[in-house]
Amino acid sequence: NAGVTQTPKFQVLKTGQSMTLQCAQDMNHNSMYWYRQDPGMGLRLIYYSASEGTTDKGEVPNGYNVSRLNKREFSLRLESAAPSQTSVYFCASSEATGTGGVITGELFFGEGSRLTVL
Amino acid sequence: EDQVTQSPEALRLQEGESSSLNCSYTVSGLRGLFWYRQDPGKGPEFLFTLYSAGEEKEKERLKATLTKKESFLHITAPKPEDSATYLCAARGGADGLTFGKGTHLIIQP
């Protein structure tokens, strides 16, 4: 059981470069999420997709874009990377998201993508 | 604004020494309190969900409890393999899911 798979696991970028983080889940979940985790801070939601074909902003969306490619896949794109985007990024999925983005059940996380922007 | 505060930030215990981790929350209309375990270099792994004050959940050496303002994760006779960072998250209404910063737990043999 793969669960939630993220690629790449590690990436180093220069300021201004672009890149896409990929995420796929095999649990047939409707909802998918992108979080970032920084030292001394809790997990913060960047974007989420309550269901295939929909995406919404979370707490810290600036500088990011997302695409829900199909039910399994949800990608996160950095168009022009900045040092402030150095972080560990986690993709997660859940069975459903309720009204207003309220997560209705437990989240299943990937192993993370560690991004450094120089 | 919803807030979740975990304490202590770090805790070092001897193997077999029981203790509790605290999660204080300020959430309008709590719809769920979640506990996760996170190992170094890994993503968080779901442990428990609590929905109402007085509710308790158990799994091996862990027991989670919930009051109207706090949740506790009790660890009984811990083993070194219980070492991890434990995250608490509260689900409210409009603000969605709010995570605490975590408690880094080390169990020494």
Give the model's pLDDT for residue A96. Answer: 67
Chain B: give the shortest CA distance to residue A56, in Å. 12
pLDDT tens, N- to C-terminus, chain B (109 residues)? 889 999 999 999 999 999 999 999 998 888 889 999 999 999 999 999 998 999 999 999 999 999 999 999 999 999 999 999 999 999 876 657 889 999 999 999 9
Q: Are A22 and A32 in contact (CB under 8 A)?
A: no
Q: What is the pLDDT of residues A7-28, one digit of tens each?
A: 999 999 999 999 999 999 999 9
> What stretch of H or E contains B21?
strand B19-26
Give the model's pLDDT for residue B28. Answer: 82
Closest among B83, B85, B87, B92 to B64, alpha carbons compared:
B87
Q: Which residues of A touch B87 (CB under 8 A)?
A: 42-43
* B64 Cβ under 8 Å from any chain A Cβ: no
Give the model's pLDDT for residue B2. Answer: 84
Q: Which two tokens stand for residue A69?
A: 């490619």
Give the model's pLDDT for residue B94. Answer: 60
Q: Say how far apart CA B35 and CA B47 lie, in whole Å.
A: 5
Is the peptide bond preceding residue A8 cis, with omega within 30 degrees of 0?
yes
Q: Which residues of A touch B29 (CB under 8 A)?
A: none
Q: Which two tokens stand for residue A52?
A: 């295939």
Give the model's pLDDT for residue A77. Answer: 98
Q: Say how far apart CA B99 and CA A62 lie, in whole Å.
A: 20
Chain B: give the shortest CA distance to residue A88, in Å. 10
Sign of CA dihedral A30, A36, A42, A47: negative
* A28 Cβ under 8 Å from any chain B Cβ: no
Q: What is the pLDDT of residues A53-108, one digit of tens each?
A: 899 999 899 999 999 999 999 999 999 999 999 999 999 998 866 555 555 668 99
Give the model's pLDDT for residue A105. Answer: 67
Q: Which two tokens stand for residue A1?
A: 């059981």
**Best of B97, B98, B101, B104 to disrupt the A interface by mutation (most A CBs within 10 Å)?**
B97
Is the peptide bond preceding residue B8 cis, with omega within 30 degrees of 0?
yes
Q: Which residues of A touch B43 (CB under 8 A)?
A: 4, 90, 92, 109-112
Residue type, B32: G
Residue type, B55: E
Give how far Cα B37 sits from Cα of A12, A71, A76, B81, B88, Å.
27, 27, 24, 12, 9
Give the model's pLDDT for residue A99. Answer: 57
Q: Say how far apart CA B51 and CA A104 lie, in whole Å.
A: 11
Give the model's pLDDT for residue B60. Answer: 95
Say how many C-beta atoms besides its own lie within 10 A of residue B15's C-beta. 12
Give the model's pLDDT for residue B91. Answer: 87
Q: Which two tokens stand for residue B87?
A: 């995250």
Average pLDDT of chain A? Answer: 91
Closest among B94, B48, B93, B92 to B71, alpha carbons compared:
B48
Q: Which residues of B touch A45 (CB under 8 A)?
A: 96-97
Q: Say how far apart CA B53 and CA B46 lie, in whole Å.
A: 20
